[in-house]
Structure 1
Amino acid sequence: MTKMFKIALPDGSVREMPEGSTPADVAAAIGPGLAKAALAAKVDGEVRDIMRPFEGDSNLALITSRDEKDALELVRHDFAHVLAEAVQNIFPGTQITFGPATDDGFYYDFAPAPERGPFTDEDLPAIEEEMRRVIAADKPLVREVWDRERVRQFFIDHGETFKAEWVMELPEGEPITMYKTGHGEADWIDLCRGPHLASTGKLDPNAFKLTRVSGAYWRGDPKNPMLSRIYGTAWLNKKQLDAYLVRLEEAAKRDHRKIGQEMDLFHLQAEAHGSVFWHPNGFVIWRALEAYMRRRIDEAGYQEIKTPQLMDARQWERSGHWGKYRENMFVVPDEIPHAPEDGQEDEAPILSGEADLMALKPMNCPGHVLVFKQGITSYRELPIRFYENGSCHRNEPHGALHGLMRVRQFTQDDAHIFCREDQIVEEVRAFCELADRVYKDLGFSGYGVKLALRPDKRFGSDEDWDKAEAELRDAVVAAGMATEEFGWEELPGEGAFYAPKLEWHLTDAIGRTWQVGTIQSDRVLPERLDATYIAEDGAKHRPIMLHRAIFGSYERFIGILIEHYAGKFPLWLAPVQAVVTTIVSDADDYAKQVASRLEAAGIRIETDLRNEKINYKVREHSLKKVPLLLVVGKREAEEGTVAIRRLGSEERQLVMSVDEAIAMIAEEAIPPDLKL
């Protein structure tokens, strides 16, 4: 008698299916429309191939294109697989390595045959054409389970040295999945965890585009061979692809490096890899944001402090950062023996062979603990909120550096709140509201809040992690943000090694998301650095340490702002708020008088008295994203008026008296937190 499995569906119904049945069989039993639409399946919460047989009674949810997140990840994974097959079809001798799905597509790393040399962008059209041929063949993607030795020998026999090396690091005895395009012995095959779609023909051949080629070291190590990485973007259909390419084109126009040069905000150069040279215009934006943030944190009850850039390596070993971040820290020898502090005995070295080392801080938290530990703190004094515009250094790889978005030297709007357990939910809730005000003040009406949960490798007990995750979750609920409107989501395994964290993901003007602010609930660092307070019972207790930032870093946040506004900043942030420019030289003296009065009113003003046509001047200042042009000629000088042109406005210029212009501009230039 055939064994039957009970398959529970999301609507609560249960279907009995014979042993050997697959999710595809269930879809077909429900109806031909679903059978055609189903791409994969969630079996007991795990995404699986739709053709993979059930192993017993199961809960089943079928994945279609309506389940966009899961569907896109599957499709992008398959496109990477098809890319690898296409490259080996037209470039024999190429070795394959790995190729994951990404946020907007996929990539795959290849080791081209030595005689062929690295791939270039010129190779992409031919590879795209071959990918479409593979898709059109509509071959099934077949999952097979092999043992490790069989996989290793297969790759050795086929000259795939990179795969053969990798497979030997997998646990011995663990089954390994291989995916074949087709059923024949000669069909293309790759080591892959899966899952995949049922066949290559499930992909839309018009929904992908290869975008570029770059170099990438095998396993990210500069000591290893350089590979060719081919990037692509992939979507469920052509309409989605076309919309993405439009966004990509718009993003190129908004590139903060390009706009930064046009507006003379900053520059980067090889003499200081990963560090920013801020020009006067760019530093105006920095100072405006810094002043704004100081007002916000002052009213929220923070105390601003400043901690050292360089600290003894022993401090980083105590905090746990030495073991986790050592390779990304800038370390220097402490050449001069240090004397004990005011009668205290010097501490014995605790780092074998590395006791006389100093390190530039990659983060501010250990320094804030040291400030907290000065003196005796009572429970009545908590919470204590320390804030610092802290300059940090991280030794990022050269290939990872990207304008203002990824740098080696950066300044965090960093703060640490030391509090009791009974204060955590209220402190996190208050931070949620503070972050909400800041992001909305800066023009971001849409954002998501996500909870990053414990990673596999972490410090601290499961009991402490249970508490910390629950406290953050409760705070978001109390703030009214654990809703679909705020994109609430929990992210398993993505917390820091010492604490879970809430993350804020901003949505910019063209729909991109940026992860910026965080707050983390940490019981580990106070324990490691022996931070205590005197509780109501007279005994010493550990405070909870909430790590929090809103911008994340000034550099990256300014880069995001540049791209969000495409350089057309709101008036309070604009480096030059207005330019007084002349139509004729007879109005030069009047233009200087107008500019002087605007400057006296606190408006950032420039004059343009060049002997150029007014249309030329308008174009030039528009390129520099100056918000307001105050145009003056003979008539304006005689009548005591100015003609105002707004950047990007199609409306006719507005003529008004100088007094009215000053009042209007001064009102508009008030930072949002200072407006009544």
Structure 2
Amino acid sequence: MCVQDLDKGDHVNLIMDGMSTPINEQTTGIEFYQKQREIVALRVNGELKDLDTDLAALPEGTQVEGVNISSDDGLNILRHSATHVLAQAVQDTFPDVNLGIGPFITDGFYYDFGNIDAVTPELLKDLQKKMQRIVKEGQTFRRRVVSEEEARVELADQPYKLELVTTKGSDADGASVEVGHGELTIYDNVRRNGDVAWKDLCRGPHLPTTKLIGNGFALTKSSAAYWKGDQNNDGLQRIYGTAWPTKDALVAYQERIKEAERRDHRKLGAELDLFSFPEEVGPGLALFHPKGGMLRHNVEEFIINEHMKRGFEIVYTPEITKGGLFHTSGHLPHYADTMFPPLVADEERDAEGNVTKAGQDYYLKAMNCPMQNLIYRSRGRSYRDLPLKLFEMGHDYRYEKSGVVAGLTRMRGFTQDDSHIYCTPDQAPQVIKELLGFFDDVLSAFGLSDFYLELSTRDTEKNQDKFIGSEEDWAEATRVLQEVCESTGLDLVADPGGAAFYGPKVSVQAKDALGRTWQMSTVQYDFNQPERFGLEYTAPDGSRQRPVMIHSAKLGSVERFIGVLTEHYAGAFPAWLAPVQARLIPVAEAFDDYVDNVASKLRAHGIRVEVDHSDDRFGKKIRNASKEKIPFTLIAGGEDVESGAVSFRYRDGHQENGIAVDQAVEHILDVVARRVNDVEGERLV
């Protein structure tokens, strides 16, 4: 997108690609871009504005850029405009509705409503039809600046809007607003005859007209919600939708959603007998079945070996500890809401059962670093010991709300491949650089090589009480992480306010086969815990110095990683990971001994093999192997036995006949050893 300069002289010129275009006194963005329907808003000196902004009124030197509806900003404006159309349709259906907020979100939007009936699929259909009529009307979005008093008068029948006007809170976009610190604006939806059809307190910007929403939108679902996300507040109905620039783009999105549902790891976990989530166990806790257990073992064995290759030392720490440890680390003061309530132990009672001595509070651990700090502190350390690399497969527990747990991707009990490197400040940049290389090696091995980096820092304007440590320490830690990340050449995205309470972090955001982004590996620079635990090392000059602590997890959570892999591969795991790597199927019972001998040869080389000696017909055995997504199905009949061969049948239906047994074994071993991650790469030819 080209940037345009506005220069004022006798007239204003708009400079685009080196060409000077005169701007008349009343020229707006709508008039200037009238032949470019894809331009739906302006970016004026970096700030998004409505397209009807008066260009001639802008001061000299103003930088102006057209916003394409297909850009990220354009899509957000499209979707937020659709929320206003949705809210208008709802208020037309329920005149006494209490309007909440209606932000755009990834791939869509939602709006919260109070004082309406429960949302049914039938209601969603009716609302979508009303939205279509509003869109076809071509209502104009018009922005008005209002005073606080004017806003109160106009929104007198809307309690949530009044709260947003009179208190620090969120506007209709879900963005922070404070009265007296910026303009209050209302957007009117105006019909062609000049009548105001609907209005909402909103920061904007919006599309010029509802017509630009077109037919690329759909309502998708509804859910319960609470005003401002607080369960102590009013219960609301939240209606979700999606919007795209064209009908084709909407259909493509809907197809991606269907594919995502087909790949849902919870569905595949049941179909492939990998894992389950019984109600008797509780939300956020998984049971791994034998095949899922083997898959998990393969993942854990790989990551443990990769740590060992890089000089990490394995440690083990208990899953429960006295609460004082988490006070020392700072987790209880800053992280208590995410930890399970304490258990009381060590109390003493008399014969009647009365407590005679108070017990200690014990907590399930939510993280491993405090205990690894104790291992570091267990004896004196010299600069010659650094960097010291400790690593464990730590079993952690976090008290996630039952409404947010989701299969393996959001759990209450999980395993982290958690490491902590203790080093000098001078060593930290190299340590972090090596960790980023480690992340690349690991994710690439699993076929997740498309990723970028995200730097999470302390927000300097909000939530100051969330973070501990001095400005100087935060600045230095952030500088080191940023410089190392930039040196990799990978894309780096800022995430203000997303840091852990004790220090900034970098996370790897990896894309799966559907283009969805998942947070995977993380590295955090911690200057706080070494101070809180009194960690020291003897420097070359004999002085006692404080080490830096570098947290990292390569997979993140093992369970979550397996959930992502399951969806990425749609359950068809690469042969090196698959719980069952090969299945032998005899064409008839007469060939049972032959396939058993072939299976023995494969097992002797460590290949995970099954032989189907069931009473099922041959065709069903083949279908079963396909449904279970077995990488290599080896078939043997009379001709194969006579020639000492087998026939290969692959997951994509491709088949190769008459392959000598030794060649078949060698091929499977080669594919497994090379960790081939694509289906075509598993073929012999």
TM range (shorter): 0.7 to 0.9
Q: CA 1:336–1:589 in 2, change beyond 3 Å: closer, same or farther?
A: same
Report the CA distance between 1:574 and its aligned residue.
0.5
| Aligned counterpart for 1:86 among listed residues 77, 85, 89 | 89
Structural mapping, 1:249-648, within 5 Å: 249-271=258-280, 272-337=282-347, 356-455=360-459, 456-457=462-463, 458-481=467-490, 487-648=491-652
| Alignment of 1:196 onto 2:200 | no
Q: CA 1:76–1:186 in 2, change beyond 3 Å: closer, same or farther?
A: closer
Q: Are the equivalent residues in 1 in contact too, given 2:416–2:553 (CA < 8 A)?
A: yes
Report the CA distance between 1:147 and its aligned residue.
4.1
1:114-153 residue CA offsets vs partner (Å, 9 max, x unmatched): xxx3001222222112112222222222223334455445
Aligned-partner Cα distance in 2 for 1:66–1:123 = 29
Partner of 2:353: none
Aligned-partner Cα distance in 2 for 1:427–1:42 = 41
Aligned-partner Cα distance in 2 for 1:26–1:632 = 72
Q: Which residue identity lines up with residue 318 of structure 2 in the other structure?
A: P
| Aligned counterpart for 1:163 among listed residues 161, 164, 186 | 161
Aligned-partner Cα distance in 1 for 2:320–2:495 = 34
Aligned-partner Cα distance in 2 for 1:530–1:166 = 46
Report the CA distance between 1:629 and its aligned residue.
1.2
Q: Which residue identity lines up with residue 526 of structure 1 in the other structure?
A: P
Aligned-partner Cα distance in 1 for 2:24–2:318 = 69
Aligned-partner Cα distance in 1 for 2:9–2:186 = 28
Partner of 1:484: none
Q: Percent identity?
A: 36
Task: Give me the TM-score of the superposition, normalised by structure 2.
Answer: 0.86
Partner of 2:175: none
Report the CA distance between 1:161 and its aligned residue.
3.0
Q: CA 1:502–1:150 in 2, change beyond 3 Å: closer, same or farther?
A: same
Aligned-partner Cα distance in 1 for 2:20–2:386 = 55
Aligned-partner Cα distance in 1 for 2:429–2:672 = 36
| Alignment of 1:657 onto 2:660 | yes
1:458-492 residue CA offsets vs partner (Å, 9 max, x unmatched): 323332222222212221233332xxxxx433333
Q: Are the equivalent residues in 1 in contact too, given 2:29–2:51 (CA < 8 A)?
A: no
Report the CA distance between 1:28 and its aligned residue.
4.2
1:19-65 residue CA offsets vs partner (Å, 9 max, x unmatched): 9x7xx726745x6435x443222233222333356675563232322
1:276-302 residue CA offsets vs partner (Å, 9 max, x unmatched): 000010011111111111111111121
Partner of 1:64: 67
Q: Are the equivalent residues in 1 in contact too, given 2:455–2:494 (CA < 8 A)?
A: yes
SS of 1:517's equivalent in the other structure is strand
Aligned-partner Cα distance in 1 for 2:430–2:386 = 13
Structural mapping, 1:6-85, within 5 Å: 25=28, 28=31, 32-33=34-35, 36-52=37-53, 59-65=62-68, 68-85=71-88
Aligned-partner Cα distance in 2 for 1:10–1:438 = 46
Q: CA 1:77–1:540 in 2, change beyond 3 Å: closer, same or farther?
A: farther
Aligned-partner Cα distance in 2 for 1:14–1:395 = 61
Report the CA distance between 1:634 and its aligned residue.
3.3
Q: CA 1:563–1:14 in 2, change beyond 3 Å: closer, same or farther?
A: same
Q: Which residue identity lines up with residue 132 of structure 1 in the other structure?
A: Q
| Aligned counterpart for 1:178 among listed residues 165, 176, 186 | 186
SS of 2:186's equivalent in the other structure is strand
Aligned-partner Cα distance in 2 for 1:427–1:223 = 46
Aligned-partner Cα distance in 2 for 1:468–1:5 = 50
Report the CA distance between 1:11 and its aligned residue.
6.6
- The runs of 5 or more residues in structure 1 that have no matched partner are 339-353, 482-486
Q: Which residue identity lines up with residue 268 of structure 1 in the other structure?
A: F
| Alignment of 1:137 onto 2:122 | no
Larger CA deviation: 170-179 vs 460-469: 170-179
Report the CA distance between 1:578 and its aligned residue.
1.1
Aligned-partner Cα distance in 2 for 1:618–1:541 = 65
Q: Which residue identity lines up with residue 240 of structure 2 in the other structure?
A: Y
Aligned-partner Cα distance in 2 for 1:644–1:419 = 52
Task: Give me the TM-score of the superposition, normalised by structure 1.
Answer: 0.87
Q: CA 1:41–1:275 in 2, change beyond 3 Å: closer, same or farther?
A: same
| Aligned counterpart for 2:235 among listed residues 226, 233, 246 | 226
Aligned-partner Cα distance in 2 for 1:191–1:320 = 41
Q: Are the equivalent residues in 2 in contact too, given 1:632–1:643 (CA < 8 A)?
A: yes
Q: CA 1:12–1:469 in 2, change beyond 3 Å: closer, same or farther?
A: farther
Q: Are the equivalent residues in 2 in contact too, given 1:7–1:57 (CA < 8 A)?
A: no
Q: Are the equivalent residues in 1 in contact too, given 2:585–2:635 (CA < 8 A)?
A: yes
Q: CA 1:365–1:644 in 2, change beyond 3 Å: closer, same or farther?
A: same
Aligned-partner Cα distance in 2 for 1:634–1:377 = 69
SS of 2:585's equivalent in the other structure is strand
Aligned-partner Cα distance in 1 for 2:434–2:387 = 12
Q: Are the equivalent residues in 2 in contact too, given 1:4–1:17 (CA < 8 A)?
A: no
Report the CA distance between 1:595 and its aligned residue.
2.2
- The runs of 5 or more residues in structure 2 that have no matched partner are 1-7, 169-177, 349-357, 677-685
Report the CA distance between 1:112 and its aligned residue.
4.0
Q: Which residue identity lines up with residue 616 of structure 2 in the other structure?
A: E
Report the CA distance between 1:275 and its aligned residue.
0.4
Q: CA 1:543–1:43 in 2, change beyond 3 Å: closer, same or farther?
A: farther
Aligned-partner Cα distance in 1 for 2:391–2:16 = 48
Report the CA distance between 1:15 and its aligned residue.
9.2
Q: CA 1:497–1:16 in 2, change beyond 3 Å: closer, same or farther?
A: farther
Aligned-partner Cα distance in 1 for 2:322–2:11 = 63
Partner of 2:256: 247
Aligned-partner Cα distance in 1 for 2:501–2:48 = 27
Aligned-partner Cα distance in 2 for 1:431–1:277 = 31
Partner of 1:341: none
Greater share of residues in strand:
2
| Alignment of 1:238 onto 2:233 | no
Q: Which residue identity lines up with residue 177 of structure 1 in the other structure?
A: T
SS of 1:505's equivalent in the other structure is strand
1:502-558 residue CA offsets vs partner (Å, 9 max, x unmatched): 221112122222121111222233233332222234333222222211211111111
Q: Are the equivalent residues in 1 in contact too, given 2:521–2:555 (CA < 8 A)?
A: yes
Q: Are the equivalent residues in 2 in contact too, given 1:5–1:56 (CA < 8 A)?
A: no
1:360-415 residue CA offsets vs partner (Å, 9 max, x unmatched): 12222222222222222222221112212111111111121111111111111111
Q: CA 1:218–1:605 in 2, change beyond 3 Å: closer, same or farther?
A: same
1:424-453 residue CA offsets vs partner (Å, 9 max, x unmatched): 221111111111111111112311222233
1:612-651 residue CA offsets vs partner (Å, 9 max, x unmatched): 322211111111111111112333334432222111133x
1:559-600 residue CA offsets vs partner (Å, 9 max, x unmatched): 111111111111110011111112211222323232233222
Aligned-partner Cα distance in 1 for 2:328–2:288 = 35
Report the CA distance between 1:235 and its aligned residue.
1.7
Partner of 1:350: none
Aligned-partner Cα distance in 2 for 1:460–1:316 = 17
Partner of 1:206: 215
Q: Are the equivalent residues in 2 in contact too, given 1:517–1:550 (CA < 8 A)?
A: yes
SS of 2:494's equivalent in the other structure is strand
